[in-house]
Amino acid sequence: MAADRREAIVVGINTGLLTLSLIVILLVNRNRAYIPLKCKNIPLLNMLFLTTLLWYLGDIFTYQPTLVAHATRSVCILTMSWLRMSLGVYSVISCHVFRIYQYQCVFKWRVPAKGKHLWVPILLWTIVPLLYGILASAIPAGKGGNEYIADPPMCVSHKPLYFTAVALLVLLLVVWACATLMMNNINVCFQEHRELLVVIVSTVLVVLLQVVLRWTLPGNSSFAYNTFTSVTDVLIGQISLFVLVSKPLFHCLRDPDEYLCYFLHTLRRENKRVEYEMAGGEEIAVSQFDGLVDSSSTESTRSIAKVLLGSRCGDSRTAFPAFHQEDPSDCGSPPRVLV
């Protein structure tokens, strides 16, 4: 069967979208010393991008079948079940659940997500991806598992394995939704709960639409359905990443000093410096009351000293009025620095 040029175009579009995410994650890592970005848990952002990439690779074998030559059942299991579902879909959701769990650790229990608070939840959240991957590998094609068919040549999942995947997906979505609702009881400074709400609502709506279209369109191998599903799969990961980092990354590139000053004074006003230190994995060496900067050799601390010693936070053109209403002169006068 000859390759469908339309499918090649779809792969090109998805690759372009994923390239935008790659540029964003590279910019985040390049500016990882910028404290508002560091507090977003950059390693978890990297994991989110990686799982989205694996999801995208699995989608090629699932929804662009004419581009895959001489596949076998083993290849179908590896790509459809392991790359797309276990290491892709389920792991993307696990990243978001872990982010909420981190907020719970930091803001409710006041402990960093390290040691047992890190590895125990990770081990628990690997259960679903491993369970599905093992089931997909063990169930024969004749009893409802994955299969590679020759006419038309493509990888397919029979109903028993498909409904198992959907059931596990629903389970994870319910856990994610409950965790997101818990965020309303966590007192954060920068409306992180709204970011997480946007991510889960957009994801659930897309997943529901995909499931509805699968059973309403004439045949789940239609080009229209495959195109819609593969593109929206990539968009789910992309929206998640952009919603989480767009604001701090934008200000990091446009007005880093002014936004950092706003960020630090918000932490001081809300008395949340310790919590965001635990979230970022590094001490934010600024006193809570008089703008002091403690001694440190890190690049981020030197950046703080630079901002607090010579910022334009008192400028009337600032985009952060909440800070100025509190005390417009705080950043306008040079604070004392401890060295």
Going by C-alpha positions, the residue among 189, 336, 334, 335 that lies closest to residue 269 is 189
> Do 244 and 141 belong together in one domain?
yes
The amino acid present at 270, given as its one-letter code, is E
Task: Mark which of 248, 272, 302 sits at the end of a domain.
Answer: 248
**Contact between 265 and 189 (Cβ < 8 Å):** no
Cα–Cα distances in Å, from 213 out to 76, 127, 205, 338? Answer: 22, 29, 12, 62
Q: What are phi and psi for residue 177, nearest 5 degrees?
A: -65, -45
Two structure tokens written together for 294: 């403690």
Report, as an integer, the average pLDDT of 133-157. 86
pLDDT tens digits for range 220-256: 457 888 899 999 999 999 999 999 999 999 999 999 9
- The alpha carbons of the chain give a radius of gyration, in whole angstroms, of 23
332 within domain boundaries: no
Q: Which of 241-250, 257-266, 307-316 has the lowest mean pLDDT?
A: 307-316
331 within domain boundaries: no
> Do 162 and 272 belong together in one domain?
no
Q: Provide the 3-class DSSP secondary structure of residue 153.
A: strand
The amino acid present at 156, given as its one-letter code, is V
**pLDDT score at 282:** 54
- How far is residue 30's CA from residue 132's CA, in Å, rounded to a whole number? 36
Two structure tokens written together for 48: 């989110």
Q: What is the DSSP string of 281-299?
A: TS---B-SSS--B----SH
> Do 145 and 203 belong together in one domain?
yes
- Answer with the residue of higher pLDDT: 335 or 128: 128
Whether this prediction's pTM lies above 0.75 is answered by yes
Residue with tokens 């639409």: 209
- How far is residue 27's CA from residue 242's CA, in Å, rounded to a whole number? 12
> Do 167 and 190 belong together in one domain?
yes
Q: Which residues contact 119 (CB under 8 A, 6 or more apart)?
A: none
For residue 234, the Cα-to-chain-centroid distance in whole angstroms is: 12
Residue 201 domain boundaries? 5-248
> Do 47 and 133 belong together in one domain?
yes
Q: How many domains does the chain have?
A: 2
Q: Is the peptide bond before 160 cis (omega within 30 degrees of 0)?
A: no
Q: How confident is the model at residue 56 (pLDDT cuts 50, 70, 90)?
A: very high
> Do 127 and 260 belong together in one domain?
no
Q: How confident is the model at residue 96 (pLDDT cuts 50, 70, 90)?
A: very high
- How far is residue 34's CA from residue 304's CA, in Å, rounded to a whole number? 9
Q: Provide the 3-class DSSP secondary structure of residue 21.
A: helix
